[in-house]
Structure 1
Amino acid sequence: MSFVENSRVLPMRKLVVLKLDGDLHLGVQVTLEIGEEGKRPTTEMTGKLPPNLDMATAIDQWQSMYRSLWKFTRIKAKKIIYDGSISQRRKECDNKANEVREHLNNWLLSESFRPLREKWLKHLMPDEEVRVLIRTHCLQLKKLPWHLWDLVDRDYLKAEIVLSIPESEAVTPALQTSTSRNKIRILAILGDSDGIDVEQDRHLLEKLPGATTTFLVEPECSNINDELWKQPWNILFFAGHSKSEGDTGCIYINQTDKLTIDELRYALTNAVANGLQLAIFNSCDGLGLARELQDLQIPQIIVMREPVPDLVAQKFLKYFLEVFSSGQSIYAAVRTARQRLKGIEKEYPNASWLPVISEHPAVVPMTWLKSGWFFNTRRLESLLLLSLLITAGVLGIRHQGGLQTWELLSSDQLMRSRPQEKQDWRVLIVTVTEDDLYLPEQKQKSGSLSNLALARLLDKLAQLQARTVGLDIYRSEPVQPNQVSLTTRWKTDDNFFAICKVSDRTQNYPGVSPPQGVPPERQGFSDIVPDSDNVLRRHLLAMQPANPTSPCTAPYAFNAQLAFHYLNKEGISAKYTASGDLQLGNVVLKRLRSHMGGYQQVDTAGYQILLNYRSYQGSPLEIAPKVTLTDVLKGKVNSEQVKDRIVLIGTTAQSFRDYSLTPYMTEQGFTQEIPGVILQAQMVSQLVSAVKDGRPLIRVLPIWGEVLWVWGWSVVGGAIAFAVLQILPWRDRSGLYLVLAGGGLLIVLYVLCLIFFYQGIWLPLIPSALVLVITSGTMAIYLSLQSSQQQLISIK
């Protein structure tokens, strides 16, 4: 794909400005400026050119002789009418052209101009590409064949003459946009074609690669006006009859109507504001047209300085488009086309004199890139380097833990934003509520559950054929002699698991013993690892007690013991891989380590994994079906509710405050708390569902994957900033569009992270968002400063 851009970096091109004040009759004051394209002039000198009436007479005579060769503008060869011998007329025209050339070069060798010429020779190398800007109001000076200056024509073969006006008014940069971003948009007006063949122009434009051309054939004025207002255009093209009278001109749009530039003033001004960068008038006598178009701040204009035969116009367009659409500069394209026209001057005298570029002095030269990539090599290198530096900086801060809080909060948001899931039917939760504390069986209770109530509850669950039973209540109450059956059950019931606590480091608490009589293999610790904000996001599966005197020596978590037992009944056992990772069936539980995902500075002691909460009806409280202690003891729970399930017994009574904070939020906007038994159910469900249902565990990319992901968003941010500011460069609303584009990208980033999180992959959202914003902002500031600097240079 192709597009047009204002080239902000033009390597190895020099700019020479000749400001000419005066005319051939009174003499000309000259100011010479030399510098690199896009930078301030490094050399400036003033001089004079003396009056030259002989050259004024010679150019008028040549013009009269040249125009006498053609009866019509841009006519076919067979309609050329000569007064007298054809060869004689051509010879006379050539003689006058040689006189003009001789007068021009002798004039430019004047003693008063010699210091400027020597300054040119001192500061410019013959092999350099040079843009020579002739800035003058004088139409007489514009008509001179400056391209025949011996410095340009003989010594500096990569130099090209460009006409301009002397004013230094800055232009408002064009709005570079189109409905088809990957195509040049060309509006081609094919006007009155009496005696000429504009279909050849149409054919050349239709074959132009990377462009979309809209043709208006002999249109009405209203049609042209509407099209200029309707949509953005990059290039305006006209083929047909035209003429100039002094500094004004007109085009013949059909067989009866002509149109002045002033009549299109507002439409053309709007077109410039929306991206019009180049106007090509492949018609006759266009210097007046160019002068008026410059007043409308059209950046660059190509016209024919004199009447142009039809074949010459077609040849020029063909040669010009071949070079320009290949990615070379407009100056190289016009220079090449002019040089090729030299080959037909035997039949069409002075054809190479005709094409001329006219441009606004404050414009940055335009380039048609043949590639759809938005950057030239230097810009691409700058963006990659900038994005690497910003990515390295952000990831360095992340490595030190500077982003951990934000990343954890972002993971909470992703967790809450996922679609709800079904309840886990394999789990049943028996809750001890405030009302359950007043049951008759609870009269002798110490804590939330009496031995009598527990014994009857376990009997009921055994009768209802629960596969695995876990008691998430510490048993500090001693067993009475008349309740020996309870102790016996604890010792002999392989389906029963009890809880203990290794320690509580925050409160210097030594731990809690398991119920007396429960063998070690059916004990599980209740310890958890909340983050610094007390929100629980990690799942502690196993650990070695740091205190050897702890009353709880269970190596595995209570929830892990329940899951292991449940799965073992189905022939699925826990084991460790060669790399030391815990494996259940085909599922490997990747251990959380420091500098892994959003956790950069964290205590990873023990065997930890990330906790993937299950949410039903928007709440983690509804992980599984729940029944109360009263329901079970009074026979309101049937076998279908219990058989082959994991039954967890725990308190939900507020008076016991066995609650943990989760990533979820209440309707009132507070952090959602869940009872310990619900938390244990979440952890059991995570393990069993991963093995039985393939429900994903939360994992992260390898370090190299995270670096590439974050760096990619940095590159995208810089590229979008460049693209937006190329489409809307430095206009009043460009900042708004950049913010909107950045906001859209952040939404895309969030949605992608949410999709991956739903699949169990925690992508680095916060670092990616930061590098995107920082890179796009930095690129915008860089381009803005560069544009401002170049505008100051161009209006100097």
Structure 2
Amino acid sequence: MSKLVVFSFLGGDLNQGFPVVTAQLWHHNQFVPVKLTGSLPAVPELSELYRRWQLLYAAVHQHFGSNQRIKVHSQDITNISVNDFEQVCQQLQANINAWLKFDSFQNIERQLRTLLSRDDEIRVIIETDIVLLHRLPWRLWNFFEDYPKAELALSNHEYTSPQVLQKSPTGKVKILAILGNRVGIDIDKDRSLLQGLTDAQTTFLVEPTRQKLDEYLWNQDWDILFFAGHSASLADGERGEICINQTETLTILQFKNALKAAITRGLKLAIFNSCDGICLARNLADLNISQMIVMREGVPDFIAQEFLKNFLIAFAGSKPFYLAVREARERLQGLENEFPCASWLPVIYQNPTTVPTTWQELCGNFDDTKFVGEVPTKGKISTSKSKLRTVLLSTLIVAISTIGLRYLGVFEKIELQTFDQILRLRPNEDPDPRLIIIEITEKDIQSRQETTLGLKSISDSTLATLLKQLQKYQPRIIGLDIYRDFADPPNKLNPIQVSTELSKDNVVAVCKSRDSKYDPQGVKPPKEVPVERQGFTDAIQDPDGIMRRQILMMAQEPSSTCTTPYSLSLQLAARYLSSENIQPKFNEDSVQFGSKIFNRLKPGRSGGYQQGVNLGGNQILVNYRNTDFIRVSLEDILSNKVNADLLKDKVVIIGVTANTVSDTWSTPYSTGQQDYQEISGVFIQAQMVSQVLSAVLDQRPILWVLPYWGDILWICGWSVVGSLIVWRVPSLSDKGCAIFVAVVILYGVCAIALLKQGLWLPFIPSAFAVVASGVVIVLIQRRQEFFTIPQPLVE
């Protein structure tokens, strides 16, 4: 448990003694402290001993010749023995402990020890206006040896609670680092240490002018003020100054207005990693800053840098402020062979009305509970915080809402349109060389006025001649995408019979399934073609009229005249691959060729299909080629104008492309064309056959979707991203830019996944979740800021 002990030295000095010394012990959330009273006698020899130690300290460092931020003046001692210095150190420690063993003060210490535990985190504040008392190395008091988690801080007698304006959490610790006059010293290491902080945004002012420093303090919000360079106490011992460049020095009074403005805007910690900072701290404490770290005396470069490094590691690593300072200070002891008394130098100055800050608090991650050992004061500002649990809760709400909207089909139309748009990003592909389309054009139909039974594009006689001619070119498989449910009267002038040609083993004919709801008739297959060489051509359009799916297999209704369970495209692809010794495996939920598996879209909800879409049968997404197919006209075949190698060993699909035949369909590429264009059904069949062959033989991606729970996790994950971005990014404009960048990155990920791997990820609901989560967090933060008002702790 953490506790606070405040020693107040009221009246007197070292020459006269202190007739009244009080100690107040504050426990966690305690409104009334334990107050103890004692006194201390006069010790004039302690003043002389400390002044001798000061002179010897500067001289011994000059003797060692270390690169220092210490200047030795002409009146200082220069010829010394190191043993003399060590004896003075021991005498100083002995005299301090002997003085504090005075009976009246011992009564305070004994009572404190009964109330304190060795495991307590203890903040000890020495409150006085006497400069020499601030300079004394109080850490030599045996009390600190017995309490390993106790650390000392200094304070002036007079102080008030700083009135700090509420500001939005930034997610970064904002540091203003002043790198002042560097003549004779090395402060580049200080800069690199600050630059290495991952959760900090550091602005460096290198040897700035007074005006520039003043502007930065006035115009921006800072959490930490850092100074490295030369500093000193003036002759009167009451004022400190810093050398901001090689020609200008400043006292605290000379820029106190800017400092007061910075403190009001949130400046909580000042670190002067420079020499002789006691007077600087005393002057700055009058402005009621929360806490400071200074060096008691002159400090060598290496010691200043080592302390800063170890303090930043501990403090940014979530250690309490006081323990971080103690650890960094004690680590300096191992360097005291070369740098005597290094661990005596760092000291904290603390405003007793404030709570020591934490790195997390400076980042904007607050905690509603009061810090242990806090001195309750009237007008204390109770800060509202954006916690991780708030982020997670808002994320959960947004994610569930998004998934619910998607379930209801709110995003379906725009998801399908986005799917099309990403597909159109692909560059044009080469035509599939395995497929040839024999097209029956409007010219072919008009040039042949033949007697047919029913509405047919060409007569059975012409079809028989076409099939007979095609067989001469030795295609591997012929697909007849023309309904032949009624036979024409025999043509005695043509000895070639269509029944003979349809009975060939490499010919697959089509039929259309009977559907009691949408097509109660159906189209029966030619009677000459057995069921194993039949394929249905049933097609399905999405609500917007685009064909994005194909049916590989489906069960037929018992009364249907089309009884084959396989589509024309599957029949053609399977027979072609069979010649490549790749046999299909048919399962209820998939069709497999070798290592390639075509998994069906799950009935109910798959990918962007969420509401009111029939996903019955074994349906897959069509991975369209952004290209045309090699086509040959009917007339060219009948006139024998085709190179024999063009058709040999190919998949040949015969179909009608005439404008008068109502067999055209919209694809994802239709809307991307300048003039909206539909394509003939025979090309749709070619696309379907090509996608199977290309996936199996060319490793072209198969389009697939995540399982339903995978989509949920994906959407939830991006909802978390949106929340965390807004939670961590400081300003509102930066939040908006970050959300925009996140959505762009999300789109890029979804596009790459679809184009490279064939994975259709839910972009629209995920983007909605990112934006909605961000908006919710902004609203929560604004509400917290609105309701954050000062709350008195003690009346």
TM-score after normalising by structure 1: 0.70
Corresponding position of 1:561: 571
Q: 1:687 is matched by which residue type in structure 2?
A: V
Correspondent of 1:737 among 720, 724, 734: 734
* Deviation digits for residues 298-348 of structure 1 (CA, Å, limit 9, x no counterpart): 87531246xx2557x97687567545523333311334567799999xx99
Is 1:238 the counterpart of 2:251? The answer is no
Deviates more, 1:70-79 or 1:757-766: 70-79
Count of residue pairs brought into register by the alignment: 732
Q: Deviations over 1:398-425 (max 9, x none)?
A: 6787765554444333322233211112
Q: For 1:650, which of 651, 655, 659 is the aligned residue?
A: 655
The CA deviation at 1:68 is 6.8
Q: Does 1:411 align with 2:411?
A: no
User: 2:625 matched to 1:611?
Assistant: no
Q: Is the 8 A contact 1:238 1:283 kept in 2?
A: no
The Cα of 1:718 is off from its aligned counterpart by: 4.9
Tell me what 2:754 maps to.
Answer: 757
State the alpha-carbon separation in 1 of the partners of residues 101 and 702 from structure 2: 83
- Residue 440 of structure 1 aligns to a residue in which SS? coil
Q: In 1, are the aligned partners of 2:24 and 2:36 still within 8 Å (CA)?
A: no
Pair 1:503-2:493 in alignment: no
What is the CA deviation profile of residues 633-668 of structure 1, one whole-angstrom value per residue up to 9, with x for unaligned ones? 555544344333322222334443323332334346
Match of 2:668, SS state, is: strand
Q: Distance in 2 between matches of 1:706 and 1:558?
A: 32
Partner of 1:619: none
1:550 equivalent in alignment to 2:560: yes
Query: Is 1:331–2:327 an aligned residue pair?
Result: no
Cα pair distance change 1:717/1:361, threshold 3 Å: farther
Question: Residue in 2 aligned with 1:517?
Answer: 528
**1:548 partner amino acid:** P
| Equivalent AA in structure 2 for residue 588 of structure 1 | I
Q: CA deviation at 1:62?
A: 7.0
Q: Does 1:281 align with 2:273?
A: yes
Give yes or no for contact 1:247–1:289 (8 Å, CA) kept in 2. Answer: no
Distance (whole Å) between structure 2 residues aligned to residue 642 and residue 416 of structure 1: 30
- Contact 2:525–2:562 under 8 Å retained in 1: yes
Structure-2 change in CA distance of 1:672 and 1:358 (3 Å): farther
What does residue 373 of structure 2 align with?
A: none
Residues 143, 576 of structure 1: alpha-carbon distance in 2 compared, 3 angstrom cutoff: same
* Change over 3 Å in CA distance of 1:692–1:383 after alignment to 2: same
Aligned mates of 1:17, 1:281 — CA distance in 2:
26
* Aligned position for 1:661: 666
Distance in 1 between the 2:60 and 2:709 partners? 68
Preserved CA contact (<8 Å) 1:229 1:271:
no
Structure 1 contact 324–368 (Cα < 8 Å) conserved: no
Residue identity matched to 1:557: S
- Give the Cα separation in 2 of the matches to 1:492 and 1:605: 32
AA in 2 matched with 1:556: Y
Residues 492-525 of structure 1, C-alpha deviations (whole Å, 9 max, x = no match):
3223222111124553423111134222222211
Report the 3-state secondary structure (helix = DSSP H, G, I; strand = E; otherwise coil) of the residue aligned with 2:751.
Answer: helix
**Cα 1:706/1:364, change in 2 over 3 Å:** farther
Structure 2: how far apart are the matches of 1:652 and 1:104? 111
For 1:169 and 1:440, the matched residues in 2 are separated by 93
**Percent of aligned positions that are identical:** 30
Partner of 2:347: 355
Q: How does 1:436-515 map to 2 (within 5 A)?
A: 436-442=444-450, 446-451=454-459, 452-482=461-491, 485-515=496-526
Q: Conserved in 2, the CA contact under 8 Å of 1:503 and 1:550?
A: yes
Q: CA deviation at 1:614?
A: 1.2
**Which residue number in structure 2 is paired with residue 682 of structure 1?**
687
Cα pair 2:26 2:33 within 8 Å, conserved: no
Out of 233, 242, 266, the residue aligned to residue 251 of structure 1 is: 242
- Asked if structure 2 preserves the Cα contact closer than 8 Å seen for 1:415 and 1:663, the reply is yes
Q: 1:626 to 1:542 in 2, by over 3 A?
A: same
Q: Aligned partners of 1:573, 1:565: CA distance in 2, in Å? A: 9
Distance of 1:665 and 1:275 partners within structure 2: 61
Q: Is the 8 A contact 1:540 1:608 kept in 2?
A: yes
Query: Against the structure 1 CA distance between its residues 554 and 88, is the aligned structure 2 distance closer, same or farther, given a 3 Å change threshold?
Result: closer
Specify whether residues 226 and 465 from structure 1 end up closer, same or farther in structure 2 by C-alpha distance, changes over 3 A only: farther
- Tell me the amino acid that sits aligned with residue 325 of structure 1: I
- The change in CA–CA distance for 1:658 and 1:463 in structure 2 (over 3 A counts) is same
Tell me, in whole angstroms, the C-alpha distance in 2 between the residues paired with 1:107 and 1:342.
32
Give the drift of 1:566: 2.7
CA contact 1:147–1:153 (8 Å) conserved in 2: no
Inter-partner Cα distance in structure 1 for 2:450 and 2:26? 100
Pair 1:573-2:573 in alignment: no
Q: Partners in 2 of 1:785 and 1:364 — Cα distance?
A: 26
Structure 2: which 5+ residue stretches go unaligned? 14-18, 64-71, 79-83, 368-385
Distance 1:31 1:793 in 2: 27
Tell me the SS of whatever aligns to 1:551. coil
Matched, 1:426 2:418: no
Q: Check if 1:170 corresponds to 2:165.
A: yes
Secondary structure, in 3 states, of the residue corresponding to 1:489?
A: helix
Counterparts of 1:607 and 1:206, CA distance in 2:
62
Query: CA shift at 1:440, angstroms?
Result: 2.9
Q: Paired residue for 2:697?
A: 692
Task: Identify if the C-alpha distance between structure 1 residues 222 and 47 changes in structure 2 by more than 3 Å, giving closer, same or farther.
Answer: same
Query: In 2, Cα distance between the equivalents of 1:43 and 1:788?
Result: 28
Are the structure 2 counterparts of residues 460 and 88 from structure 1 closer, same or farther at C-alpha, using a change threshold of 3 Å? closer
SS at match of 2:653: strand
Q: Would the alpha carbon gap of residues 150 and 382 (structure 1) be closer, same or farther in structure 2, given more than 3 Å must change?
A: farther
SS at match of 1:447: coil
In structure 1, what is the Cα distance between the partners aligned to 2:434 and 2:602? 30
Give the 3-state SS of the residue equivalent to 1:682 in structure 2: helix
SS of structure 2 residue aligned to 1:664: coil
Match of 1:6 in 2: none
**1:524-559 deviations in whole A, cap 9, x for unaligned?**
1111233444433222112221x2111111221112
Aligned to 2:371: none
Question: Which 5+ residue runs of structure 1 have no aligned equivalent?
Answer: 1-11, 37-41, 110-116, 617-621, 729-733
Partner of 1:731: none
Q: Measure how far apart 1:141 and its partner are.
A: 13
- Distance in 2 separating the partners of 1:480 and 1:92: 127
2:181–2:207 Cα contact (<8 Å) kept: no
Deviation, 1:740, is 2.0
Q: Any conservation in 2 of the 1:432–1:448 contact (CA below 8 Å)?
A: no
Cα distance in 1 between the residues matched to 2:197 and 2:401: 41
CA shift, 1:562, in A, is: 1.9
Q: 1:761 Cα shift?
A: 3.3
Q: Secondary structure at the match of 1:481?
A: coil
- 2:348 is paired with a residue whose SS is strand
Residues 477-503 of structure 1: CA distance to partner in whole angstroms, max 9, x if unpaired? Answer: 531122673433344322322211112
